[in-house]
A = this chain, B = another copy of it.
Amino acid sequence: MSAQVNRRIVLAARPHGDPKESDFAVVEGPLPVPGRGQALLRNILVSLDPYNRIIMGNANSDQPAIGIGDPMFGFTIAVVEESDHPAFAVGDHVAGMSGWQDYAVSDGTDLRKIDPDAAPLSANLGVLGMTGLTAWVGLTKIIEPKPGGTLVVTAAAGAVGTAAAQIGKLRGLRVVGIAGGSGKTRHLLEDLGLDAAVDHRAPDFARRLAAAVPDGIDTVYENVGASMFEALLPHLNLKAQFAVGGVMSQITRTEAFEGPDRLPDLLSAVMYKDLTIRGFSVPDHFDSYPDLLAELAPALARGELRYAEHVVEGLENIPAAFPEMFQGRVMGKMIARIG
């Protein structure tokens, strides 16, 4: 990487279904030049999220997609290289939305200064970042898990899933994670300390799930978006609550799901079991970020908040690595270290 060149990853082709390496291109250009009141940022960490797939288009979402040739945007940790902004000094570490590129300019509206000594830098993209906020808002402002109750987290080995599971543990819940493969369930049990972990690929998944929730299910943090519902249904306690934080199984879907139609069963369960099912938009809750920090930063410092990361080395390796997230091959928060 030359100091005079800015590499950026752009959308080369709109994916159908899972993203692939050739959907991206790395292009080089001159360093951006900050204007009045702006700062020049050198990105050092890039957050790789399901959200990035959504903005590529064809994602069963009504969120807007970027255009072919447009740069991929996303959350980043950067160092301020030049600054004409009063709040940000050269050498400051900042979290922002600088995208998949080496350098960016910002007018500061997307930036938040971070203390590199308070927590590992990458945690500011994970459990102390948007990933953590997605989990925290769901469990704090959308549903109301009661201490001692059973929280089930789907896609529990994913970035938001591990954060939700850890927040659940911090708050005294019995946390049961569902994930695909014994490597993930072992990780959830041994590294993250969940109360139980169930492999949804196991042939006796239903039996294992039943054994993992002897007192039924009180709350669900849902990241998958469908496939688990039928399995969870018999175990839902009256007034069970779902926070729908993600619909990972939907993002890359290209065909309608085969029948039977389970929607009527869901609505019956909603009625007969007094369920509450709620979605939410994280940007509506950005003002909760200080509350998240107040709860989670001390817990992280005390070692009570464990997390895993999947680190990609080098901006140039993102196009090959990002698709792995959709193949179930990533545990924890996926991050690229680029500088």
Contacts and interface: CB of A to CB of B under 8 A. Distances in A.
A278 B276 contact: yes
B264 A275 contact: no
Given A264-B226, A264-B253, A276-B277, A244 B270 contact: yes
A222 interface: yes
Contacts of A317: none
Contacts of A273: 62, 279
Contact of A60 (B62, B229, B249, B268): B268
A211 interface: no
Contact of A263 (B62, B262, B276, B279): B262
A63 B269 CA distance: 11
A19 to B, nearest CB: 18
A257 B260 contact: yes
A267 to B, nearest CB: 5
A38 interface: no
A260 B262 contact: no
Nearest to A230: B263
A287 interface: no
A326 to B, nearest CB: 16
A256 interface: yes
Contacts of A238: 281
Nearest to A266: B263
A250 interface: yes
Contacts of A168: none
Nearest to A241: B278
Interface string A64-94: 0000000000000000000000000000000
Contact of A256 (B250, B260, B271): B260
Given A266-B266, A276-B276, A271 B259 contact: no
B272 A225 contact: no
A276 B276 CA distance: 7
A271 B279 contact: yes
21 contacts: A60-B268, A61-B268, A62-B272, A225-B264, A226-B263, A229-B267, A238-B281, A244-B270, A245-B271, A247-B264, A256-B260, A256-B261, A258-B260, A262-B262, A271-B279, A272-B279, A274-B284, A275-B278, A276-B277, A276-B279, A277-B277
